[in-house]
């Protein structure tokens, strides 16, 4: 009986210990999952922040890449605020210098040779003034040509009217000439008949005298 009681006690204790162990393991697993999820979230936020910083402040404006064999800090360098300002100023100056170079190439060659920024601006201003003056002269010339073209158009209309009038006069003169020719021919035939008739009468009336 004592051994049975002892065995039952040992079995109860063993089952109770296993239950406590399983509860403890479940609790540890839950805590580990929570910790792992928090670590993953923090890691993702850190990686995203570093990538954005690398994209914003990298010299070639490309996102930084992480090397597979190194740590996460390899592949980019987080810049401080003064360094960012210097980098922005550097890029701005480079852009300005590039635009000045393009402007210098578009300007006519100067006798002074290479120009500085002030000289480039002066040459550009002079070129713009010259172009504006040429544009004004061309606009004035265009207005004068338009006025002359309008006058020529009016003269063309007048000449066309005169041409039509002269053509009508010419046609009338031709018709009058035809009428005069017909009248002249009819009058000539009439006179001829009269002359022939009178001549025949004279021959009959005034016979030639024998001498």
pLDDT in tens, 143-161: 999 999 999 999 999 999 9
CA angle 113, 116, 121 (to 5 degrees): 105
How much is the pLDDT for 12?
47
Mean pLDDT value across residues 105-119? 72
CA–CA dist 107, 94 (Å, integer): 20
Q: Which of 45, 111, 49 is nearest to 76 (CA)?
A: 49
DSSP state of 78: P
CA–CA dist 106, 94 (Å, integer): 19
171 pLDDT band (50/70/90 cuts)?
very high
pLDDT in tens, 6-23: 444 444 445 555 655 666
How much is the pLDDT for 76?
52
How much is the pLDDT for 50?
58
Average pLDDT of the chain to the nearest whole number: 74
For residue 98, pLDDT over 80 is answered with yes
Lowest mean pLDDT among 52-61, 94-103, 163-172: 52-61
Residue spans per domain, the chain: 1-78, 123-204
Handedness of CA 119, 124, 128, 130 (dihedral sign): positive
CA–CA dist 63, 57 (Å, integer): 9
How much is the pLDDT for 42?
66
CA distances from 194 to 17, 184, 206 (A): 172, 15, 18
Indicate the pTM of the whole model: 0.41
Mean pLDDT value across residues 151-177? 93
How much is the pLDDT for 115?
73
pLDDT in tens, 46-93: 666 556 545 544 444 444 444 444 444 444 567 788 888 888 899 988
């Amino acid at each position: 009986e004592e051994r049975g009681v002892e065995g039952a006690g040992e079995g109860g204790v063993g089952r109770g210990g296993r239950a406590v162990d399983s509860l403890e393991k479940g609790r540890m697993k839950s805590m580990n999952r929570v910790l792992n999820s928090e670590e993953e979230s923090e890691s993702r936020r850190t990686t995203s922040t570093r990538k954005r910083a690398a994209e914003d402040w990298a010299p070639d404006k490309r996102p930084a890449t992480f090397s597979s064999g190194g740590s996460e800090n390899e592949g980019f360098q987080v810049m401080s605020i003064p360094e960012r300002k210097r980098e922005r100023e550097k890029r701005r100056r480079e852009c300005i210098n590039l635009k000045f170079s393009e402007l210098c190439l578009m300007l006519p060659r100067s006798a002074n040779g290479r120009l500085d920024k002030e000289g480039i601006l002066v040459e550009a201003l002079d070129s713009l003034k010259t172009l504006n003056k040429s544009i004004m002269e061309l606009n004035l010339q265009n207005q004068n040509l338009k006025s002359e073209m309008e006058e020529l158009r009016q003269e063309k209309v007048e000449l066309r009217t005169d041409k039509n009038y002269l053509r009508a006069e010419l046609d009338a003169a031709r018709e009058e000439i035809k009428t005069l020719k017909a009248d002249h021919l009819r009058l000539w035939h009439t006179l001829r008949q009269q002359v022939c008739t009178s001549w025949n009468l004279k021959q009959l009336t005034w016979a030639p005298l024998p001498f």
